[in-house]
Amino acid sequence: MNKIPSQIVYGLVDGLAVLQEMAMSPEPVSGLAVARKLELSPIRVNRLLKTLAYLGLAYRTSSRRYAVGSGMHVIAAQSMAASGLLSNSFIHLDRLAKHGYLVALGVLWKDKVCYLYYNSGGMPVESGLGGMTLYPALESSIGMSLLAELPEEDVNALFHEQADAELFRKLDEIRKKKLAMVKHKNQLSLAVNIGKPAYAAIAISGFKTFEGLGKFIKLLREAAKAIENAK
């Protein structure tokens, strides 16, 4: 977690918060609803939404609500193309998905995981794009794998009372094994990080028992290494 700079631009912070709130909504949002959700002044939110619309990052509907504009899609496409993360991952994610288990690629965003790719198993690789958005990091093998790389004070800042001794024990175990194993809804999920320092992680899940996991841990690590080394 980055430290607050000495001369932070709060207008930018609030503007990005408004933009993200709009981006997460499946329907156009009203300024008042966004203001209530973010606990900001309705006047400030209205000004920010109008500014985002001017920049093309939002557009105003006939019902005076706001939705994501074309500029947001352009930035998303440009950032994905520049990072090469998805394009370098497709072939390796496809190979993993052919085993019939759920395969995911995600990044950590605050206390959540953003899934860039989420394939429920055996489906064409392109079907996994945009399958899910934000998910609690503590319930995700990808989230736990990436959290294990954060300093203890950053984990405390993110989760407060949830950051207990048991959580830090789990994170320490993940850090040592370089493997996150999370059981959720009676299914096991495995995840490993990509990069040093890690900037993403991949996971394979849907296992009912521990039997035969060694094979998939090996496949997962090989895929992560290949994505990391791709040019």
Mean pLDDT value across residues 161-176: 94
Structural domain boundaries, residue 189: 84-229
- Residues 67 and 88 grouped into a single domain: no
- Residues 97 and 188 grouped into a single domain: yes
- Residues 120 and 209 grouped into a single domain: yes
- Residues 170 and 119 grouped into a single domain: yes
pLDDT at position 178? 96
Residue 127 belongs to some domain of the structure: yes
Mean pLDDT value across residues 47-73: 95
- Give me the number of domains the chain comprises: 2
Note the Cα 101 to chain centre separation in Å: 20
Q: What is the pLDDT of residues 67-123, one digit of tens each?
A: 999 999 898 888 878 888 888 898 999 899 889 899 999 999 989 999 988 887 655
- Residues 93 and 187 grouped into a single domain: yes
Final residue of a structural domain among 39, 73, 107:
73
Q: For residues 103 and 183, give the distance between their C-alpha atoms in angstroms, rounded to a whole number.
A: 15
pLDDT band, very low/low/confident/very high, at 7 (cuts 50, 70, 90): confident
User: Any idea what the CATH number is for the domain that residue 220 is in?
Assistant: 3.30.450.40
User: Any idea what the CATH number is for the domain that residue 48 is in?
Assistant: 1.10.10.10
Residue 5 belongs to some domain of the structure: no
pLDDT at position 84? 85
Task: Dump the DSSP string for 67-130.
Answer: EE-HHHHHHHHHHHHHH-HHHHHHHHHHHHHTTSSEEEEEEEETTEEEEEEEE-SSS-GGGGBT
- Residues 68 and 142 grouped into a single domain: no
Task: Give the closest residue to 180 by CA, choosing from 215, 221, 212, 211.
Answer: 221
pLDDT at position 5? 74
Mean pLDDT of the chain: 90
Final residue of a structural domain among 73, 94, 110:
73
pLDDT surpassing 80 at residue 127: no
Final residue of a structural domain among 33, 50, 73:
73
